[in-house]
Amino acid sequence: MAAVKEGDYDGIREQVRKIMKQPGYDDGSAGPVLVRLAWHASGNFSLVEHTGGSNGAGMRFPPESVDPANAGLHHAISFCLPIQAANPWLSHADLWTLAGITAIEDMGGPKIPWEPGRTDYSTAEAAAEHRGDISERLPDGALGADHIREVFGRMGFSDREIVALSGAHALGRCHEDRSGFEGQWVVNPIRFSNQYYKLLLRDIWKPRQWDGPFQYEATVAGTKLMMLPTDMALVQDPKFKPWVEKYAADQDLFFKDFSMAFAKLIELGVARDDTGFAQLVKKSAREGKPLDQTAQPSGGGCPFAGGKKRDAKL
């Protein structure tokens, strides 16, 4: 992988596109696992403790790297390593999030706003001191609506945003040797679309009879598909279901809402200073107050909504 000029993020996007094809890996594409890497690197943020989030790239170190919820993500990190090695000016944290949004776009999804400035932990000790205990913050596919709201609410997401972000299950598949679950959600798992919602609304899902954890199954167009309990919760819950119906009927609306929600997700835990970089300093230390007395972010909405317009590309 050749180096690109420092700050050339369009050049980095092109390099991500070059690693998308991965013969021998799931469906021949690194795309879905790159999206999952960006998601899991960001989705452990807490508005209460002000820890976690995409800044720091903590998944390079234990215990985050060996968290069962992150099983299999070493593949995505490995796919990204040639890019990072050729461009040492680029932080892992910026690369992981940029790779995720580039993969979504490359697989037919919407453009997603993105800004650089994330920095990396230099050691496992630095990561542990700054992040603290962020275990058990990611969704458990075996649970229901209350769990989903607890996990996403901790990050400041509304019901609408929760359902929009769940649409990422249009990509990829579960692996029995990672999560315990097995199978893909949609017929084409390397194409981003609203098919996930259309399938959720169909009366075709039956409990799978097998020795693994409880999940649902159906066969569509000759392809065996699955849904998790957390997926079915979106149509069983009266406040989630209307958004499933809206996104099933209107892909443009889904793309719009997903773009803004995912942009918000990958910004969690990223507080840039005047230099444009997000220094790895605890919010409480920066404000000189105990954690339980620090101010929470205002608004709670997407950081890209309102104010100065930010383009999807730099």
CATH at residue 30? 1.10.520.10
Last residue of a domain, one of 245, 266, 287: 266
Quote the CA–CA distance of 102 and 85 in Å, as a whole number: 19
Residue 283: which pLDDT band, with cuts at 50, 70 and 90? low
Token readout for 191 is: 């194409």
Domain presence at residue 309: no
Active site residue 210: no
Residues 181 and 224 in one domain: yes
Residue 81 phi, psi (nearest 5) = -55, -40
CA distance 45 to 146: 18
Instruction: Confirm whether pTM is higher than 0.75.
Output: yes
Residue with tokens 């107050």: 289
Q: Residue 180 sits in a domain of what CATH number?
A: 1.10.420.10
pLDDT of residue 302 exceeding 70, the answer is no
Residues spanned by the domain of 75:
11-138+262-266
| Co-location of 84 and 115 in the same domain | yes
Instruction: Report which of residues 290 and 211 the model is more confident about.
Output: 211
Q: Residues 32, 120: one domain?
A: yes
Taking CA atoms, 95 is separated from 58, 80, 102, in Å, by 13, 8, 10
Please pick, among 39, 96, 114, 185, the residue that the annotation labels catalytic.
185
With H, G, I as helix, E, B as strand and everything else as coil, classify residue 73.
Answer: helix
Number of domains, the chain? 2
Tens digits of per-residue pLDDT, 184-206? 999 999 999 999 999 999 999 99
Q: What distance, in Å, lies between the first and last C-alpha atoms of the chain?
A: 21
Segment 25-53, tens digit of pLDDT = 999 999 999 999 999 999 999 999 889 99
Across 170-181, average pLDDT: 96
Same domain, 121 and 237: no
What was the pLDDT predicted at 246?
Answer: 98
Judge whether residue 278 has pLDDT over 80.
yes
Q: Does 219 share its domain with 124?
A: no
Count of alpha carbons within 13 angstroms of residue 263, beta-carbon side: 23
Q: How confident is the model at residue 274 (pLDDT cuts 50, 70, 90)?
A: confident
26 and 97 housed in the same domain: yes
- 50 has catalytic annotation: no
Q: What is the pLDDT of residues 100-143, one digit of tens each?
A: 999 999 999 999 999 999 999 999 999 999 888 898 899 999 99
Domain termination residue (choose one: 256, 276, 299) = 256
- How high is the pLDDT of residue 279? 85
In this prediction, residues 230-234 reach a mean pLDDT of: 98
Nearest to 216 by CA among 173, 182, 172: 182
Given 40, 50, 92, 130, which residue is catalytic? 40
Distance CA 41, CA 37 (A): 6
CA distance 34 to 103: 7
What percent of the chain clears pLDDT 70, i.e. is strictly above it?
A: 89
The residue type of 172 is G
Whether the pLDDT of residue 300 is over 80: the answer is no
